Structure 1
Amino acid sequence: MGFYLLLQKTLKVSKFKKKFIEFLKLVFPSTGIEFIILLFFLVVYGCLGSYIAIHYKIIFDSRIPWDAYFSFDNKSIVMTGGSFERHPLSYYFFKRIRQLGLLFSDGKMDGNFRFALAWFSNIAVSMSIVQVFKYLKNIIQLPLFICILLILFLGSFSTTILLSFTPENFTYTFLLLTLFNYYSALKLRKDQKIPALALVFSGIGIGGLTITNIAKVFVPVAFEKDVFKSWKKFGNAVFRIILTCICFIILYLNRIHFKYDNIFSKTNEQYEKFSNVNSTPIWDMILSYFFGGNVLFSNFIVTDRNNMQGYKYKGLLMDVYSSWIPYLFIATLLVLVFLSYFRNFRNKLVQILIISFLLDIIIHCVMRFGLHTSFIYGGHFVFVYPLLIGWLFNSYKNSPKTLSGLMVIFCILFAYLVINNYLRMVEFFSFLNTYY
């Protein structure tokens, strides 16, 4: 009997050890090329963020709560985690981020504090890009050269550049969403269900940072094998979703001391504030801000701001595109995305990406919530572009001529993206030199 118990205990330890190793391989780089990719982006983004943190105050200035650049709420997010109705649990997350930053800066909110904040963001964005690479290499199984091109393409987006040094909810949502998409794709490819515990933690983490994203956690569950053909599997899926919702709601209500009336009043107030902007045609905001601004920097506008306490400062915003070339760029990118969807219509992993993307389209383009500043929400969906293009390339792997043509188009887009965003970042630094 003693030997049997010892054997059983050893097997449990071995199983736990195996699960832990699998978790580490899932989250962190597990191959040489993945370590190189992580190191590359850490260095590139690290140099950018470190220089901005050391020489300028724009990443964090205690006098500026919001809108110093592109409507990011740096100080507000770092100090409070943001509004509870949109970011219900981020208060707890940013409390730890703030404590770690202050530990690094000996309790002072100075250049060292900004440096720490920038590097936390750098690590999150660089890890996100590694997750996208893993998806391209292990799920879509693209050649290494194409995988690297696609992550360099993603790494040059306006969203990834800005989030790499910006302490914001979207920065960490970017990491959690890319990680969950890769994890769920691994499970579905093996015809496995997403465990209840993983779903609960994903729902709390992703939905806690931005509440609307919790719906994306449930999308892969609908594509589990035979989930709608077996009452047992359907019931199990419903149980996991309800369990996740219950855990999330309890934590949410606890965060606001169970004063649930505040949720409705504050949510309505935020919706009215961020959805009633009519200064620009809707179609232009959709193209320039929602689809375009997350990828391709547009023109910049310098605005006058104040912190409601007498301190005046300058802010930087994106304008709509002023040339036909960026519109052509975005139109071509969207054509590639739609072509990928139609080419891979029966692919459940592609359906998951599109449905998740569609949720953002409904929220920002149809409901118009934050449409005029939707270029800051890119962390919620911008990774979908390289993944869908990757699926498009994969669908033409047996048609070399068509694939070559698509690669030419992609390389032209890539070249224009790099040149445009580099020149815009030069303008951004000119703004920093003038005002910060």
Structure 2
Amino acid sequence: MSLKTKFIHFFKLLFPSSGTELIVLLFFLVVYGYLGSYIAIHYKIIFDSRIPWDAYFSFDNKSIVMTGGSFERHPLSYYFFNWIRELALLYSGGKMNGDFRFILAWFSNFAVSLSVLQIFKYLKNIIRLPLILNFLLVLFFGAFSTTILLSFTPENFTYTLFLLTLFNHYSAIKLKKDEKIPALALAFSGVTIGGLTVTNIAKVFIPVAFEKGLFKSWKKFGNAVFRVTLTLIFFVLLYLNRIDFKYQNIFSKTNEQYEKFSNVNSTPTWDMILSYFFGGNILFSNFIVRDKHNMAGYHYKGLIMTVYSSWIPYIFIAVLLMLISWSYYNNFKNKLVQVLMISFLFDILIHCIMRFGLHTSYIYGGHFVFVYPLLLGWLFYSYKESPKMLSFLTVIFTLLFVYLLTNNYLRMVEFFWFLNQYY
């Protein structure tokens, strides 16, 4: 295949390749664009040079934009955010004003809208659901608290969401065709995804394990080992170069971060898991305003999520998790479903079992929240020959969708109250 053909295929993968796909992308660009533009122009919360972190929901906007975040968790994002910051400054004439915030918001909008497009493409081209179900599932996904917040937030999670949805769609195409993921594609995915959040590099290797005949042929197994090793070598060398090969700093800083973000016991673990990890990424929970300071004398207000105060959101999350588990059970022999679930279980291990950042796990949604609409898609697919069951599932899904829209709309009204009061 020529280089030109590869580029054409890549752009068809990345951008709309049909009228319906173009409509999906434009719809979310307009909706998220209006939201983000309004916030950027009228409020300072997207970027305030005095506030390095925690202005809303524990996002580190200023810190991320200026430095790319901590090197031990986001080793290569420094370079990525340098480009974004410089482009935003170019547009704003070197000032960190409303124009600067506007461009930051539109970068986020573009990344999240493309993420939604990747979900739509996966549902349409891989699962091949009826068009109406595809639209409903991407609207459901687009109304998640994570996708709403990331659509205007300059954060690592924003671009991680895009890269992971793109890679999952790409790897699903390869697995469906019984093709292997090329070495350069795997290396590029590993460096970009792992570069933004180091633990996510493991997810890049999951589809490799499901390539056809991998464990039946020494040649294929050896080739897979070579591709994984090559990816790790590229990643490690770039990581070490970023920190001037002072690798001791990685271990000391990682341990320090783990201690800081894993030893919070103010809320029962089961409630943090349901309200923050499984719930907060989809369904906004209650908000509380906290007094914050930047360690340099500036005091400000921060908005954070607390646990659900009503039994209804718990029922919502329980039903959604039952549907996801049902999908996994029905499609257990489907390697594409296994890739999604193993990736999801990896995040459950880190946040729920190892408890890293469990008390703020509602901010980590970009790492895994896309799994929900895809597994729901596979659940609908498993009953494509059963009209009665499809109707039952559609009714349940519609009820969840209506509640999600209602809840998240009301919470965003509260969010704007917070902006009007303090920003």
Q: 2:256 aligns with which of 257, 262, 269?
A: 269
Query: What per-residue deviation string (whole Å, max 9, x for no partner) do you get for residues 358-388 of structure 1?
Result: 0000000000000000000000000000000
Is 1:361 aligned to 2:348, yes or no? Answer: yes
Secondary structure, counterpart of 1:34 in structure 2:
helix
Match of 1:42 in 2: 29
Cα distance in structure 1, aligned partners of 2:291 and 2:217: 60
1:70, CA displacement in angstroms?
Answer: 0.1
Aligned: 1:383 with 2:370:
yes
- Aligned positions of 1:30-429 closer than 5 A: 30-429=17-416
User: Counterparts of 2:7 and 2:79 in 1: how far apart (Å)?
Assistant: 25
Pairwise CA distance, 1:20? 1.3
Distance 2:136 2:270 in 1: 30
Task: Kindly provide the amino acid, as one letter, of the partner of residue 22 in structure 2.
Answer: F
Match of 1:4 in 2: none
CA distance in 2, matches of 1:268, 1:30: 45
Aligned pair partner of 1:28 in 2, 9, 15: 15
Matched to 2:3, the amino acid is F
Q: Specify which of 405, 417, 420 is matched with residue 430 of structure 1.
A: 417
CA–CA distance in 2 between the matches of 1:400 and 1:34?
27
- Deviation sequence 1:37-74 (CA, Å, 0-9, x none): 11000000000000000000000000000000000000
Structure 2 spans left out of the alignment, 5+ residues = none
2 CA distance for matches of 1:429 and 1:399? 44
Q: Any idea what SS the aligned residue of 1:166 has?
A: coil
Amino acid at match of 2:280: G
The structure 1 segments of at least 4 consecutive aligned residues displaced by more than 6 Å after TM superposition are none
Aligned residue type for 2:123: L
Do residues 19 (structure 1) and 6 (structure 2) align? yes
Which secondary structure state, in structure 2, belongs to the residue aligned with residue 46 of structure 1?
helix
Per-residue deviation, residues 13-57 of structure 1 (Å, max 9, x unmatched):
xx2221111111011111111111110000000000000000000
Give the Cα separation in 2 of the matches to 1:423 and 1:127. Answer: 26
Q: 1:413, 1:81 → 2: CA distance?
A: 36
**3-state DSSP of counterpart to 2:303:** strand
Distance in 2, Cα, partners of 1:29 & 1:63: 39
Which of 1 and 2 has greater Rg? 1
What CA deviation, in whole Å up to 9, does each residue of 1:195-241 have, x standing for no partner? 00000000000000000000000000000000011000000000000
Distance in 1 (CA, whole Å) between partners of 2:398 and 2:251 is: 47
1:352, distance to aligned residue in structure 2 (A): 0.2
Structure 1 CA distance for aligned equivalents of residues 3 and 402 of structure 2: 47
Task: Give 5+ residue unaligned stretches, structure 1.
Answer: 1-11
Q: 2: distance between equivalents of 1:143 and 1:264? A: 49
SS at match of 1:382: coil
Mapped partners of 1:224, 1:131: distance in 2: 21
Match of 1:167, SS state, is coil
Distance in 1 between residues matched to 2:363 and 2:42, nearest whole Å:
24
Matched letter for residue 307 of structure 2? V
Could you tell me how far apart the structure 2 residues matched to 1:410 and 1:329 are?
A: 10
Cα RMSD for the two superposed structures: 0.5
Aligned-pair CA distance for 1:160: 0.2
TM-score in terms of structure 2 length: 1.00
What is the distance in 1 between the residues matched to 2:168 and 2:111?
Answer: 16
Cα distance in structure 1, aligned partners of 2:31 and 2:308: 27
Q: In structure 1, how many angstroms separate the alpha carbons of the residues matched to 2:109 and 2:210?
A: 33
Could you tell me which amino acid in structure 2 is paired with residue 351 of structure 1?
Answer: Q
Partner AA of 1:319 in structure 2: T
Percent of paired sites with the same residue: 78
